[in-house]
Amino acid sequence: MIFDWNSGMGNALIVQRFYLKGAWKSVFFLSFGFIIGVVYVVLIFNLAQYCSNLTIYQTTGGSSNITCTFDYYEKLLDELSKERYAVLRVVDFIRLYRNNSLPQDKVIVILRHDVDFSPLLAYKMADLEMKHGIRSTYYVRTRGPYNTLEKRFHSWLKKLSSSGFEIGLHYETLYYSNYNFTEAEMLLESDLNLLRSIVPVYTVCSHGNAPKQKYVNYEVFIRDPSLYSKLRIEGEAYLTVFQILKELKRSGKISEYTYLTDTYKRDIDWIGILKNASARNIVYMLIHPDNWYM
């Protein structure tokens, strides 16, 4: 059919097309607006959930004090410097236990650090400990995001070791071998040799590469306990230390032990817990320098 645009039918068709086009535009913009609104609501809801989750890292009980800061860490070290505490490196604790020489008249504190991502804050933490006359254990990675052989880090490790700190391997070889136990043992020996080319290494500590791993890295020692003697390792920071703590508690040689960790930047009343501890109590502290703020 040919329309006569001067006729009424032609004019009616133009008007009809005009309104149909406008209607489709309205539908499009209404739909688009609805989608944007839904996305906005979802984002607000997720943001609210995220913000509410942050409160688990804040102090409770009306206190305005936030731990995981270096100002707080200095106060913590002031407390640890008191005569009532015996602050031990991991290797010290293991050796004293095996020699039946753990002090009975002090609160025993095992102080350990896992250097997971950056050594920069570990430098600061170790300087503060040195200033307070405290020596601790630093576990470092050889497969992590920093270079163990980098000049400054290499020199820092040697300085710490010569100053009485313990340097240990924060191993992750089971994860990097894709859970092949034979390969993991070979990698563990290789990584130990690398770190021992810089400093003595007496203990090791399993690194957690992911929240859900097929096997935890320390499974290599559970599967093959002969690795301790084969690799000249005096103990593992999880397996050996907790085995000793449980044995001490079971035998009645200590009254209690407490494990404190800043994992997920937990806000802990470190100083309050120490002050409430008594002789024949052991407090095992894991502090990640990466989790603390200047």
| Fold observed for domain 70-291 | TIM Barrel (3.20.20)
DSSP states of 102-133: --SSSEEEEEEEEE-S-SHHHHHHHHHHHHTT
- Measured distance CA(237)–CA(205) in Å, rounded: 5
Q: How confident is the model at residue 194 (pLDDT cuts 50, 70, 90)?
A: very high
Q: Provide the whole-model pTM.
A: 0.78
Whether residue 66 is predicted with pLDDT greater than 80 in this model: the reply is no
Backbone angles phi, psi at 168, to 5 degrees: -125, 165
pLDDT the model gives residue 65: 40
Is residue 239 within 8 Å of 218, Cβ to Cβ?
yes
Q: Which two tokens stand for residue 214?
A: 């097929």
Check residues 228 and 294 and name the one with the higher pLDDT: 228
- Measured distance CA(207)–CA(146) in Å, rounded: 15
How many Cα atoms within 13 Å fall on the side-chain side of residue 62?
A: 0
Q: How confident is the model at residue 199 (pLDDT cuts 50, 70, 90)?
A: very high
Q: How confident is the model at residue 222 (pLDDT cuts 50, 70, 90)?
A: very high
What ranges do the domains of the chain cover? 8-56, 70-291
Whether residue 1 is predicted with pLDDT greater than 90 in this model: the reply is no
